[in-house]
């Protein structure tokens, strides 16, 4: 950690430039409030291995920010979300958080995009007393960092038991294979798959691991294919998800159901994998098929602005801005991060694209996950 802080002055200057560029690049909304400005920070992976995730998040955030300002939801107060690139890297995320906390004095921080980065840098915000809202982190331990940590995305621990029970029931899974990166948080995510399967009496036919920087998976996939499992459960970083799907279909698993971790739940992964993604099953924190008026309004607004349909990353980021804005609306002191923290704890049944949203006592999201399958290149209800 000391090495990171010594490197921070130069990196911090670069991040500061990024923040200014991002803020200046955001168009002013016609009729936006002209009163005081409240700033949130957003640490997103706009470059690096998770760049497609981060870009979807940025789109959702900008849409929500402009809607909130145009509607005067916060009265005369203008909301500004400072977006900075954490480059899918823990050191860069550390510099971004430092800049947000010490120089930009943001009221709250959204992100970072990746769980690995979040586990590394969230303690900085906890120590500084700045609320953090995780909008895409599914790894365990995020909210356990401290009482300023909140998670809007569903954790693997929340999603896994429910989707495993449904998958095993519908597909009659009696034996399963596991494939995962032998590094946290992927290791812990795969252990969640394993525990849920074993609790249902499913036999683990084989358990294969791979290195973080690995790009060729022939030996692991051939071993899995030879074990003839009823389904394969894969936990991998987003940068490798499409590659694993493509190679799995090539090495004998073209007819075997593949269940992916949350990193697989992305339009970017589906586009990269192409036909190899067909039949992929994923647990989801959001689905476009949710018929609520709030969700359909979000989808229509996103499509009108960007010309494409939103994915889960965009929906969660969009929702995150509204969660923070609602807490800000309900607080008695719009300049105090602790007051915002207290107001976040009171969020109950907020109408969002994710459905009625609440935080539980552990600051985890409290709403039901869904299960989806890729059919004709698109995620659809399973």
List the CATH number of the domain containing 230.
Answer: 3.40.50.2300
Orientation of helix 115-128 relative to helix 90-99, angle to 10°: 30
Does residue 202 share a domain with residue 185? yes
**Which domain covers residue 74, as residue numbers?**
2-154+292-357
Q: Please give the average pLDDT of every successive group of 10 residues along the chain, which has 382 residues.
A: 34 39 43 83 96 95 98 95 97 97 95 94 98 93 96 86 91 96 70 91 96 92 97 91 96 94 85 95 89 96 96 96 97 88 96 96 91 90 87
Which residue among 249, 284, 319 closes a domain? 284
Residue 362 inside a domain? The answer is: no
Does residue 350 share a domain with residue 323? yes
Residue 163 inside a domain? The answer is: yes
Residue 366 inside a domain? The answer is: no
Residue 254 inside a domain? The answer is: yes
Residue 206 inside a domain? The answer is: yes
Residue 369 inside a domain? The answer is: no
Does residue 338 share a domain with residue 222? no
Does residue 79 share a domain with residue 51? yes
Does residue 38 share a domain with residue 124? yes
Question: Nearest-CA neighbor of 111 among 69, 50, 158?
Answer: 50
Which residue among 224, 250, 284 closes a domain? 284
Does residue 261 share a domain with residue 202? yes
pLDDT, residue 11, reads 38
Does residue 309 share a domain with residue 241? no
DSSP 252: T
Tell me the β-bridge partners of 84.
43
pLDDT, residue 212, reads 81
Does residue 279 share a domain with residue 218? yes
The verdict on whether omega for the bond into residue 185 sits within 30 degrees of 0, i.e. cis, is: yes
pLDDT, residue 184, reads 63
Does residue 254 share a domain with residue 296? no
Does residue 165 share a domain with residue 150? no
The verdict on whether omega for the bond into residue 7 sits within 30 degrees of 0, i.e. cis, is: no
Does residue 302 share a domain with residue 247? no
Dist CA 95 CA 13 (whole Å): 9
Does residue 275 share a domain with residue 196? yes
Residue 74 inside a domain? The answer is: yes
pLDDT, residue 185, reads 60
CA distances from 79 to 34, 38, 61, 171, 342 (A): 10, 5, 11, 47, 19
pLDDT, residue 27, reads 45
pLDDT, residue 16, reads 41
Which residue among 243, 261, 284 closes a domain? 284
The number of folded domains in the chain is 2
Question: Nearest-CA neighbor of 56 among 64, 66, 43, 44?
Answer: 44
């Amino acid at each position: 950690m000391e090495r990171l802080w010594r490197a921070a002055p130069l990196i911090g200057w670069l991040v500061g430039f990024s923040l200014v560029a991002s803020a200046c690049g955001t168009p002013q909304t016609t009729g936006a409030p002209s009163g005081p400005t409240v700033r949130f920070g957003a640490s997103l992976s706009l470059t690096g291995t998770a760049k497609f995730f981060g870009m979807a998040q940025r789109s959702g955030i900008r849409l929500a920010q402009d809607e909130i300002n145009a509607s005067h939801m916060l009265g005369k107060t203008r909301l500004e979300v400072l977006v900075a690139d954490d480059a899918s890297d823990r050191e860069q995320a550390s510099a971004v958080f430092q800049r947000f906390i010490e120089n930009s004095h943001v009221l709250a921080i959204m992100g970072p995009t990746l769980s690995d980065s979040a586990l590394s840098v969230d303690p900085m915000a906890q120590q500084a007393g700045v609320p953090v809202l995780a909008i895409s982190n599914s790894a365990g331990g995020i909210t356990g960092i401290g009482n300023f940590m909140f998670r809007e995305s569903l954790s693997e621990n929340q999603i896994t038991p429910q989707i495993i029970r449904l998958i095993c029931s519908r597909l009659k899974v009696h034996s399963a294979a596991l494939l995962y990166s032998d590094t946290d948080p992927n290791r812990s995510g795969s252990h969640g798959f394993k525990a849920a399967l074993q609790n249902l009496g499913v036999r683990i036919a084989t358990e294969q691991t791979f290195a973080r920087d690995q790009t060729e998976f022939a030996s692991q996939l051939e071993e899995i294919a030879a074990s003839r499992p009823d389904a394969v459960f894969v936990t991998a970083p987003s940068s490798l998800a499409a590659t694993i799907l493509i190679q799995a279909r090539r090495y004998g698993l073209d007819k075997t159901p593949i269940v992916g971790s949350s990193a697989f739940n992305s339009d970017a992964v589906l586009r990269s994998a192409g036909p190899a993604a067909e039949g992929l099953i994923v647990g989801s924190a959001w689905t476009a098929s949710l018929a609520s008026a709030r969700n359909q309004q979000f989808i229509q607004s996103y499509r009108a602005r960007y010309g494409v349909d939103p994915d889960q990353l965009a929906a969660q980021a969009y929702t995150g801005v509204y969660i923070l804005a609602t807490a800000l609306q309900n607080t008695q002191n719009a300049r105090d991060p602790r007051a915002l923290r207290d107001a976040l704890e009171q969020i109950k049944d907020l109408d969002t694209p994710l459905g009625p949203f609440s935080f539980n006592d552990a600051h985890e999201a409290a709403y039901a996950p869904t299960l989806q399958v890729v059919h004709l290149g698109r995620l659809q209800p399973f």
